């Protein structure tokens, strides 16, 4: 997911656009709903397999329940010839759905998901087509409804890729339309059944398209948000590093400039007695030099601390664990920082840092 989007375009019928880590634009195809980047497509499918697995299992359990409810209906509608349909459901349809449900608990299921779900949907749809051809007009309404239910599972409930689900479902739907036109003795009956079947499947197809399109757009949006956060953090870290370098540079130059004044004051102190009227001015100048040095050291330490914070990864800390009665934090800092010790700085400041470590004054 971290490879991701640089931006998502607005509405107006335009497809969503992003950029992956390698730079090229990533778009959603308006018909197939596939990402133009293979890397983004693979990442999306992996996330979809992980997040939609509980819903897939629930849909397969619902499918097993729906298949079992057809058994008493077969016996009621075809009391003399229900055994054939029972055998077809028991030998083909129900095992295909149960096989997909059982395989969903395997670690290798992401690789087996598409063929097993395709087998379950195809078995259900083509079984309805067989019943439509075998029982004819008495089972016209019954098996047309069953075909619509199979199409609903294939397009919406089992999470197949849109193009694959559409071709899988519409293959047995169009075959069922041809069977209805062939079996129905009256044109009005055939037209009504075909209209119901086609309109229902068209609505399911549009719904599947909208759901998968929205899912992929939300995925691109999440990639865009993550990428924006990473770029903002990198920019802030770069700014902090620049401030640290500038502060160190000015401190180094300022210390070199003040060094001559400090040396002159020390020599003047040695040649000036305590009773001399110039001694208060010398002491005041020395305090001013110390103040300048403290300010420079404080600015340098502050910028070093900020830069280190942005370079390190945040660590989650649980302040109030439920298994302890005390309210003190349980986290231990990985690198304790005292108020008088600066964090690691650049090599050209190490000598100045050593000389400053013994003095802790106003800012630090």
317: Cα separation from own chain's centroid: 23
Confidence grade of residue 176 (pLDDT, cut at 50, 70, 90): very high
Q: pLDDT tens digits for 31-78?
A: 888 888 889 999 998 888 888 899 999 999 999 999 999 999 999 999
Provide the Cα torsion 314, 316, 317, 322; round to 10°.
170
According to the model, what pLDDT value does residue 187 have? 84
Q: Which two tokens stand for residue 11?
A: 């509405």
Find out whether 158 and 211 touch, Cβ atoms under 8 Å. Answer: no
Query: What single string gives the DSSP state of each residue in 71-135?
Result: HHHHHHH-TTS-HHHHHHIIIIIHHHHHHHHHHTTSTTHHHHHHHHHHHHHHHHHHHHHHHHHHH
3-state secondary structure of 70: helix
Query: CB neighbours of 8 closer than 8 A, spacing ≥ 6?
Result: 16, 17, 18, 217, 220, 221, 224
CA distances from 76 to 80, 203, 251, 314 (A): 9, 30, 94, 66
Q: Report the chain's mean pLDDT, rounded to a whole number.
A: 77
Beta strands in the chain (DSSP E): 17-19, 25-27
Q: Which of 174, 175, 80, 87 is nearest to 135 (CA)?
A: 80
- The CA radius of gyration of the chain, in Å to the nearest whole number, is 37
Find out whether 221 and 1 touch, Cβ atoms under 8 Å. Answer: no
- Give the H/E segment covering residue 293: helix 279-311
Half-sphere exposure of 154 (CA within 13 A, CB side): 30
Confidence grade of residue 307 (pLDDT, cut at 50, 70, 90): low
Mean pLDDT for 79-98 is 93
Q: How far apart are CA 17 and CA 25, in angstroms?
A: 6
Q: How far apart are CA 87 and CA 71, in angstroms?
A: 10
CA distances from 277 to 266, 273, 274, 281, 310 (A): 16, 9, 8, 8, 52
Q: How far apart are CA 300 and CA 285, in angstroms?
A: 23
- Give the H/E segment covering residue 262: helix 187-270
Q: Which two tokens stand for residue 209?
A: 């398209």
Find out whether 342 and 363 touch, Cβ atoms under 8 Å. Answer: no
Mean pLDDT for 127-150 is 91
Find out whether 160 and 118 touch, Cβ atoms under 8 Å. Answer: yes
Q: Which two tokens stand for residue 97?
A: 């759905």
Least trusted range by pLDDT, from 208-222, 264-278, 330-344: 330-344
Full-model pTM: 0.63
Over 50: is that where the pLDDT of 231 sits? yes
Of residues 333 and 25, more confidently modeled: 25
Q: Which two tokens stand for residue 102?
A: 């059982």
228: Cα separation from own chain's centroid: 13
Q: How far apart are CA 95 and CA 109, in angstroms?
A: 17
Phi, then psi, of 61 in degrees rounded to 5: -65, -40
Find out whether 254 and 292 touch, Cβ atoms under 8 Å. Answer: yes
Q: pLDDT tens digits for 256-281?
A: 777 777 777 777 777 777 777 877 87
């Amino acid at each position: 997911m971290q490879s991701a989007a640089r931006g998502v375009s607005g509405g107006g019928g335009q497809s969503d656009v992003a950029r992956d880590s390698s730079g090229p634009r990533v778009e959603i195809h308006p018909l197939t709903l596939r990402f133009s980047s293979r890397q983004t497509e693979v990442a999306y499918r992996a996330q979809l397999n992980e997040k939609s697995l509980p819903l897939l299992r629930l849909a397969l359990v619902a499918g097993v329940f729906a298949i079992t409810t057809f058994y008493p209906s077969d016996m009621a509608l075809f009391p003399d010839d229900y055994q054939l349909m029972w055998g077809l459901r028991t030998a083909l349809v129900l095992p295909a759905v149960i096989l997909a449900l059982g395989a969903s608990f395997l670690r290798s299921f992401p690789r087996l998901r598409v063929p097993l779900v395709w087998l379950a949907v195809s078995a259900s749809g083509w079984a309805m087509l067989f019943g439509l051809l075998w029982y004819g007009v008495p089972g016209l309404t019954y098996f047309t409804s069953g075909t619509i239910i199979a199409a609903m599972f294939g397009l919406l409930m089992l999470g197949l890729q849109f193009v694959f689900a559409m071709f899988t479902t519409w293959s047995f739907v169009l075959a069922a339309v041809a069977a209805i036109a062939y079996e129905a003795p009256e044109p009005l009956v055939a037209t009504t059944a075909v209209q119901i079947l086609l309109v229902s499947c068209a609505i399911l197809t549009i719904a599947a398209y909208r759901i998968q399109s929205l899912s992929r757009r939300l995925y691109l949006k999440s990639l865009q948000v993550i990428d924006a956060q990473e770029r903002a953090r990198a920019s802030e870290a770069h700014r902090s590093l620049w401030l640290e370098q500038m502060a160190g540079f000015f401190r180094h130059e300022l210390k070199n400039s003040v060094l001559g004044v400090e040396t002159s004051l020390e020599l003047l102190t040695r040649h000036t007695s305590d009773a001399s009227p110039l001694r208060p001015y010398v002491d005041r100048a020395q305090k001013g030099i110390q103040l300048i040095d403290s300010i420079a050291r404080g600015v340098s330490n502050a910028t070093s601390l900020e830069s280190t914070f942005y370079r390190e990864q945040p660590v989650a800390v649980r302040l109030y664990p439920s298994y302890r009665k005390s309210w003190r934090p349980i986290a231990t800092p990985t690198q304790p920082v005292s108020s008088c010790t600066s964090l690691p700085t650049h090599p050209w400041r190490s000598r100045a840092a050593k000389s400053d470590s013994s003095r802790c004054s106003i800012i630090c």
